[in-house]
Structure 1
Amino acid sequence: MYSSIATVCLSGSLEEKVDAIAQAGFEGLELFENDLTAFAGTPREAGELIRSRGLKLVTLQPFRDFEGLQGRARERAFDRAEHKFDLMEELGTDLLMACSTVHPDALPGISRAADDFFELGERAAKRKLRVAYEALAWGRHIHDYRDSWEVVRRAAHPHVGLVLDTFHIFSRQTELGTIGRIPGDHIFLVQTADAPRLSMDHLSWSRHYRCFPGQGELQMDKFMAMLEETRYDGPLSHEIFNDVFRMGHSDQTARDGLRSYHLLRSMQGDSGIPAPQPIESVAFLEIAVEPNDLAPLRELLSALGMACVGRHHTLNAERWAAGDVNLVLNTESSFTGRVPGRDATAVTAIGLRVGNAYEAFKRADKLGYEIVEPEEVGASHRMSALRNVDGSLSYIIDDSQLSRTWDREFPLERQPVPQGSLVDIDHISVALSYHDYLSLMLQYRAIFQLEVTPSFDVTDPRGLIQSQVLQNGNGRFRLALNASASPDTASNRFVRQYGGSGVHHIALSTTSMRDTSTALHKAKTPVLPIPSNYYRDLAARFDLPAQTHAWMQEHHILFDQDSHGDFHQLYTQPNHKAFFIELVQREGYQGLGAPNAFVRVTAQQRLEADLLASDSNADTGERPA
């Protein structure tokens, strides 16, 4: 098989799309006819443009509403086909992709359709062309690949073959077993698309929510296993209709598309790509700290029970730790390199602990991801990293590397790691543009063995935030991805204010929220104020002891409960940093406290407005009203 992508997947003009597809490294492309119609040159020039970039023109598509017609309408359908054949000869491609009819006058009948395609095959053969037939999920009479295969089988023409499209197959929840019994030389084209699982009509679902394999929730691995049984050896081509892709950067979309192609190939036994590595935990977070923020951040971490347990041997960098929580505070950009364009105190690197770092990097390299070596960022450590879509780094390390890193890099003023109520990093929450959301989703799911939760909406006072969680099997690694189409939601304000996507907040796990909140209170650490109406509602929803309820309200602690157990949350104030810290106590609870999100983001927006007003008044010398 070889890589291909349909021009409909990308934004821009035909020239821009072809350049992006070629630069990403694809071998072929499908030409969506709208892109040809809008092209200023001739079809011959369009074909030459594609070939000049080293690309094979796989097919012209789509050819619609062909089969099942009568009389003049049938004659007109064949006339249209001849016109498409003229275009194909000028373009320099031999394959026309025809999709099952939605024409209101089309008659049913597999034999009728097979007769039509036999005649079309005869006409195509005279020009040394071919036709590939696809079952649309919303086709009038044929919407099942098993029926389109029966049409092709009965047509029994060497110039007529089958299209398999994963979206149309999965959206109809069609069984996959029949695929393995189709001869590969009768399949002329395989189109791939993933999608979130949604309850809506097939056409709307297809036109707006398709995504690359690895970004959705369909069982692409099972499809690829069945496809391998056919011994198909043609183009494996993405066909994605997605509003985000149409608005995004074509080069980023194309790069993600090729990585997704490699992910699909890795699902087959002959790929030579190592298996995905499970992430065992977050080994550390590296924070680039603005000088004015260093003292307050130290005070906050001290109040949480963390301590500085080592200093870097050459740089102004400190290791702060408690339990299994490790934070590196770095005031020098040379340590790993700050995220480009971001000058606030922010998370610039994540350390991901895996069983075998070498195998993880080997897989990442095979899938086409950028690997950053230590010398490229002027670091003295020996850890390699992945470059994330937001410019930050994800270090992939195993236990032996981690131990050496702490011993070698932070040997000064070594102290024992405190073992108190703060025990681990519960989850990391990332705010992203929608395009970056899909890119980061693909990166983590392609390289690592992670489970993905169904996407859900978080209500923000200024819109909805789409959220989805990637997690490992034991729950020690959770990465929450958040994106919004509304410009003024909390996630989009973060992206706008801090120069792009990045870590929005860090959730630390405590075994005793009472001890943690008391320590913060004694240290006079400002926490996010929660309105009293929340606690009135809490009393109505949960049967909590009066003393517990009063303690929660006094310390601004949020609460939720599911069938597995209880969940407590407490938020610090960001105070001009690009991130804030959340404290959680999890007693079997499985989620991230989504029912409390609206209260939390509303409180944060209120606090943000108050801080802006305070800063403005300080600049003008006025007192707040």
Structure 2
Amino acid sequence: MPTGTVPTGTPAAGTARLSLATVCVSGTLEDKLAAAATAGFDGVEIFAPDLLADPGSPAAIGARCRDLGLSVDLYQPLRDIDSTDPDRFAANLRRADATFEVMAGLGADTVLVCSSVSPDAVDPAADADLLAAQLHTLAARAHERGLRIAYEALAWGRHVDTWDASWDAVRAADHPALGLCLDSFHVLARGSDPAPIAEVPGGKLFFLQLADARELSMDVLSWSRHHRLFPGQGGFDLPAFLAPVLAAGYAGPLSLEVFNDVFRQSDPVRTAVDARRSLIALAEATALAGAGTDPVATAAPSLDGTAFVELTAGPELGRVLRALGFSRTGVHRTKQVERFEQGGARLLVNAAGTGSGAVAAIAVESPDPDASARRAARLCASPVPRATGPGEAEFAEIPAPDGTALFLCRTSGDAGPDATHGPPWPHDFVGVDEAPAPGTGITGIDHVGLTQPYDAFDEAVLFHRAVLGLDPVGDGEYAAPFGLVRSRALADPRRRVRLALTVSVLRRGDWSPAVADPQYVALACDDVLATAAAARAAGVPLLAVPANYHDDLAARLDLPAGTVAAYRELGVLHDRDAHGDYLQVCTELLGGRLFLALVQRTGTHDGHGWPDAPVRMAAHRRSRLARG
């Protein structure tokens, strides 16, 4: 599993229990329960369709849960209970009685009752007393069996479609076995203010369901059924939702109910681990905002930059780096790895790779790598053992969701036997007797761009946010030559570390472009025209950009003729927004899918060149096909 397994002793979200709805993950009920247990959840919500497809009796399923160390925290859903038709309501009560029998077998004491979407639903604006009476009757029948009713307002409910409307109904029904189920999606998708939830008596908050989502323009039912995400993967302010729930005195589990088409066809264990990470990270963020207990208890590292990026490629990459003005400054003591440096940019070339250029590892500067590794482990991202020789640096390696290694390390510091954190990573390299290259103006690593596997994009966003403390700084979609691409950029507050993640929105068929899943390292420079001109003169294979692009660019930006001529010659791509400019010049592919980009930012431009990505992708395909 690329992001590791849950380490023994990993704390839950403070003192809260963590629960997972079976609808969140793929597989049969047996697969889902095993995944929840493996990931370290305390309990589950069992979704009725999962139970109906299982050959075991409710009692056998309940026993299976207990054997796995899981409680059944909720059974759901019981739909469309209230009715203006007395005969229909009587039939609904018989259906509820059958549900209560299932719950008894499972060992569940709470059932989710959704607000009705049926045409015969009771409208509380017309007859609040009838709705209250029917909910009271239902709760009384549950109470006789020692069960509880958690009433939830669906965002698309026929009449009750907001959390405060559901609270009005629960108060009016006035039964101790009737309380609220609050679902963050239903509350936040409607734009409701969660702050007044703090005024609800904690004893009336029976259950809490959490989900994130991107802001999408579509009907709320489709949005909910297909596009929910785990906390930290979308755009909802979930700490602002959870804080008033905890302030009200809610003492039940933090549970996830996430309907997502990708998650429901992915590895269930991996998805469950990601789910648990999301709850721990949410509890931490909420505690830092002043509510609840921090389960991580180790702050995100104050990153000091990208220590190095390790690349796998053939001999061509070393030649290109020299032509770009990089100096070869060291060779690894025990591995076939060379170190190249220019300004603050450090690139390691691993000659033991497959020869197909790719980003193998990203190392970030942490002032306390050991503490950073402990934080990662508490967020379900355990470091993996690294093979090191005598006296070599021992720093944490954490596999990212796409298989890239994430290193937490130091570049400088004491390397002696009494060093607090062991020697810094440069100690692993032996210097070479080569004259330093003059350089071409590269000052550092601006960012790293990684195309994610189809199933791992949202997981990767959460992983890097939680483990490194990065924040989203941009997202969007663009129509590329080979299909729609989704993008999301992450960075630390000081912009010392930036990542640009992309993914194809739909799985590809048999036909695919000549360049699949590209990766790149963006190298910062102060004058991209001067750096690119020096690189071209030294023989760096720069990517040719069509004249049509520059004709349009000149018209849009009203650029001087001399600037446009330089852009044409060097293949400059130029994105401008209200905050500044982003200029980039890309190399041709250096191996299977790797390229380098020379980038210059002006003002406070915070983008990553995505408006020009379709032009660049088409140019790379032409270049690859031309080279055979």
Fold shared per TM-score above 0.5: yes
Query: Please, what TM-score do these two structures have when normalized by structure 2?
Result: 0.89
Higher mean displacement: 540-549 or 361-370: 361-370
Q: Partner residue of 1:3?
A: 18
Matched, 1:271 2:294: yes
Report SS of the residue matched to 2:300.
Answer: coil
What do the CA deviations read for 1:173-221 (whole angstroms, capped 9, x no partner)? 1112212122222211110101111222111111111010011111111
Q: Partner residue of 1:597?
A: 613
Higher mean displacement: 58-67 or 308-317: 308-317
Alignment of 1:70-219 (within 5 A): 70-109=85-124, 110-219=128-237
Give structure 1 stretches of 5+ with no counterpart: 333-337, 615-625
Matched, 1:220 2:232: no
Higher mean displacement: 392-401 or 545-554: 392-401
CA distance in 1 between partners of 2:414 and 2:25 (Å): 41
Contact kept in structure 2, 1:285 and 1:328, CA below 8 Å: yes
Describe the shift of the 1:379–1:64 C-alpha distance in structure 2 as closer, same or farther (beyond 3 A).
farther
Alignment of 1:84-483 (within 5 A): 84-109=99-124, 110-266=128-284, 267-268=286-287, 269-273=292-296, 274-289=298-313, 293-294=314-315, 296-332=316-352, 344-375=356-387, 380-398=392-410, 400=412, 404-405=423-424, 407-413=426-432, 421-483=441-503
Matched, 1:22 2:37: yes
What do the CA deviations read for 1:264-284 (whole angstroms, capped 9, x no partner)? 222334234223334332111
Contact kept in structure 1, 2:324 and 2:440, CA below 8 Å: no
CA distance in 1 between partners of 2:123 and 2:368 (Å): 56
Higher helix share: 1
Q: Tell me by how many angstroms 1:407 deviates.
A: 4.7
CA distance in 2 between partners of 1:162 and 1:275 (Å): 34
Describe the shift of the 1:587–1:176 C-alpha distance in structure 2 as closer, same or farther (beyond 3 A).
same
Q: Partner residue of 2:419?
A: none
RMSD value over aligned CA atoms?
2.5
Higher mean displacement: 233-242 or 377-386: 377-386
Q: Tell me by how many angstroms 1:443 deviates.
A: 0.8
Give the aligned residue type for 2:153: A
CA distance in 2 between partners of 1:253 and 1:123 (Å): 37
Q: Partner residue of 1:506?
A: 521
Matched, 1:536 2:556: no
Report SS of the residue matched to 2:272.
Answer: helix
Higher mean displacement: 190-199 or 112-121: 112-121
Query: Please, what TM-score do these two structures have when normalized by structure 1?
Result: 0.90
Q: Tell me by how many angstroms 1:361 deviates.
A: 2.2
Give the aligned residue type for 1:157: H
Q: Partner residue of 1:606?
A: 622
CA distance in 1 between partners of 2:251 and 2:510 (Å): 47
CA distance in 1 between partners of 2:266 and 2:414 (Å): 37
What do the CA deviations read for 1:410-447 (whole angstroms, capped 9, x no partner)? 23227769665101111111111232111111111112
Give the aligned residue type for 2:427: R
Contact kept in structure 2, 1:322 and 1:418, CA below 8 Å: no
Q: Tell me by how many angstroms 1:406 deviates.
A: 5.1
Contact kept in structure 1, 2:409 and 2:425, CA below 8 Å: no
Contact kept in structure 2, 1:132 and 1:160, CA below 8 Å: yes
Q: Partner residue of 2:584?
A: 569
Contact kept in structure 1, 2:226 and 2:259, CA below 8 Å: yes
Q: Tell me by how many angstroms 1:486 deviates.
A: 3.6
Give the aligned residue type for 2:304: E
Contact kept in structure 1, 2:521 and 2:595, CA below 8 Å: yes
Calculate percent identity across the aligned residue pairs. 36
Matched, 1:53 2:68: yes
Describe the shift of the 1:402–1:463 C-alpha distance in structure 2 as closer, same or farther (beyond 3 A).
farther
Q: Partner residue of 1:619?
A: none
Question: Which structure has more RCO (C-alpha within 8 Å, separation ≥ 6)?
Answer: 2
Give the aligned residue type for 2:381: Y
CA distance in 1 between partners of 2:338 and 2:66 (Å): 54
CA distance in 1 between partners of 2:390 and 2:107 (Å): 50
Describe the shift of the 1:381–1:511 C-alpha distance in structure 2 as closer, same or farther (beyond 3 A).
same
Report SS of the residue matched to 1:374.
Answer: coil
Describe the shift of the 1:489–1:220 C-alpha distance in structure 2 as closer, same or farther (beyond 3 A).
farther
CA distance in 2 between partners of 1:388 and 1:201 (Å): 34
Q: Partner residue of 2:505?
A: 485
Describe the shift of the 1:539–1:420 C-alpha distance in structure 2 as closer, same or farther (beyond 3 A).
closer
Describe the shift of the 1:275–1:67 C-alpha distance in structure 2 as closer, same or farther (beyond 3 A).
farther
Q: Tell me by how many angstroms 1:489 deviates.
A: 9.8
CA distance in 2 between partners of 1:408 and 1:417 (Å): 22
Describe the shift of the 1:582–1:552 C-alpha distance in structure 2 as closer, same or farther (beyond 3 A).
same
Alignment of 1:549-564 (within 5 A): 549-564=564-579
CA distance in 1 between partners of 2:152 and 2:557 (Å): 54
